[in-house]
Amino acid sequence: MTRTEERLRDALGAAAARVRDDRLRPLPAPETRPRRPALRRHMGWLGPAAAAISVLLIVALALTLTGPSHKPTPLVSYPALPAGFPKYFAQIVGPSQIAGPPGQLDVVIRSTSTGAEVTRAAAPDVPDWRLTPLNVATAPDGRSFYIEYRAVDLQKNTSQIWIYLLTFTHGGSSNYLEWIKGDPFPGSGLLVNGGSMAVSPDGRKLAFTETTQRLNGRSWPDAITVVDLRTGARSTWQGGMSRPGQTLTIPAISWTPDGRSLVFRAVWCRPIPNSDVCLDQSGQPGYRAPEIRSLDVGTRGGTLDHGSTLRLSPSARYPVIADAIAGPGGGLILAVLSGPADAATLTVERVGAAGKRLGVLYRSRAYGTEGRPDSVTLTPSATGTYLLIAYNGPNGPVTGWIDHGKLRFLPNKHPERGLLITGW
């Protein structure tokens, strides 16, 4: 034993001897959920341990001040975001990221500038029902969030769509979940098969996709419902766009800036047997050819073919349209994949009302299965000024906003694969 070690041992022993067990207080637990306290007879070791830890911290601090500097890598943060930038974003968090029961999913609201958790909403505990969050959409005020749950009746083994409005006080000290008017809704949805939800620019209507049919034992979102949030009145568009041997799926919807129409991506899919997968490659099993369409919500329901008009189809210029949302001036914003599979390029660009290319917002090498990103999602801010992009890459989800041709990541720990961030 060296002289330094002997001095440290003596210091630890002397400090521990001065501690009185009757004056010890338990350390505060870091968990947000209550825990049963340990039995009193197991607490006697805390006295010497606490004193030892104190001395070790002092020694470590001295070594840090006198020795070489090893600064930890700082977390990404954006303390000075521009005016009108979304202050919060919503994240569906899996059981590996929370101290909850197996299979539980929570919705967490985080600060866009720091990534700090503002508030958390666990799935409502309803007797004889199991609720799983599927999608989150942000209201124009930037601090109210609509959460779509798949509600399973455990007695009847049937499911419905339940939608709650999450509001919270300033600072997130408390929050409140309430059903929206018109709930519950028929149909169902599966997280793995996607789906979408969006609030109108004036905050008065909520649009979401529903599942009305099953193919090969799987559920696919194939209908669109719009709900008046003030009255609960609803309009639904479904059917009329089927193709032999294929099923229609609607993975994404967005509102036009005037709030009169919805832009949606229609995908016809022949799934691989016993799978939820449709491949994006021509000539492969399950090939899908998407169309970008506009739906006039003034038609108040009906079939999709009568209520919508074709805006864009895949072409040599747009070989694979990974996602599309409504853009300014009646145009579109597209996420396009091009090039060979082993060296594909992901391009986000503006397209005019007549289909003319207006400019490239972002371009990058595409990552993912065979070089192609999986589940690309574009989400505009409430003002339409800022654009969030999320996709599953080889190392997990990638989420950030596009800033003058660059991708700036959200300051948070990425969620699990399949739980992309789309509400901000």
What was the pLDDT predicted at 370?
58
Mapping DSSP to helix (H, G, I), strand (E, B) and coil, where does residue 153 land?
strand
What was the pLDDT predicted at 51?
42
Mapping DSSP to helix (H, G, I), strand (E, B) and coil, where does residue 418 land?
coil
> What distance in Å separates the CA atoms of residue 204 and residue 139, rounded to the nearest whole number?
9
The mean of the pLDDT values for the chain is 74
Contact 286, 269 (CB under 8 A): yes
Q: Encoding tokens for residue 291?
A: 């169309």
> Going by DSSP bridges, is the β-strand pair 374-380/218-228 parallel, antiparallel, or unpaired?
unpaired
Q: How confident is the model at residue 56 (pLDDT cuts 50, 70, 90)?
A: very low
Residue 27 has pLDDT above 80, yes or no: no
pLDDT digits (tens, 9 = 90+) for 348-388: 999 998 888 899 999 988 766 556 666 788 999 888 889 99
- Count the neighbouring beta carbons within 10 Å of the beta carbon of residue 82: 9
Which secondary-structure segment (H or E) carries 362?
A: strand 357-365
Residue 285: phi, psi to the nearest 5?
Answer: -60, 135
> Which residue from 85, 6, 125 is spatially nearest to 380, judged by alpha carbons?
85
> Going by DSSP bridges, is the β-strand pair 106-111/117-122 parallel, antiparallel, or unpaired?
antiparallel
Residue 40 has pLDDT above 50, yes or no: no
Supply the DSSP string of 253-312, one letter for each residue.
EEE-TTSSEEEEEEEEE-PPTT------STTSTT----EEEEEEGGG-SB-HHHHEEEEE
pLDDT digits (tens, 9 = 90+) for 237-282: 988 888 777 778 888 899 999 999 999 998 887 766 666 566 545 4
Residues 392-404 as b or e (16 or more Cβ within 10 Å = b): beeeebbbbbbee
> What distance in Å separates the CA atoms of residue 95 and residue 374, rounded to the nearest whole number?
22
pLDDT digits (tens, 9 = 90+) for 93-112: 876 444 445 567 899 999 99
In the chain, where the domains are located: 3-28+43-66, 316-419
pLDDT digits (tens, 9 = 90+) for 275-322: 656 654 544 544 556 899 999 999 989 999 888 999 998 888 888 888
- Count the neighbouring beta carbons within 10 Å of the beta carbon of residue 172: 17
Give Rg (Cα) of the chain. 26
What was the pLDDT predicted at 20?
39
Strand partners, 393: 396
> What distance in Å separates the CA atoms of residue 292 and residue 247, rounded to the nearest whole number?
16
> What distance in Å separates the CA atoms of residue 52 and residue 397, rounded to the nearest whole number?
42
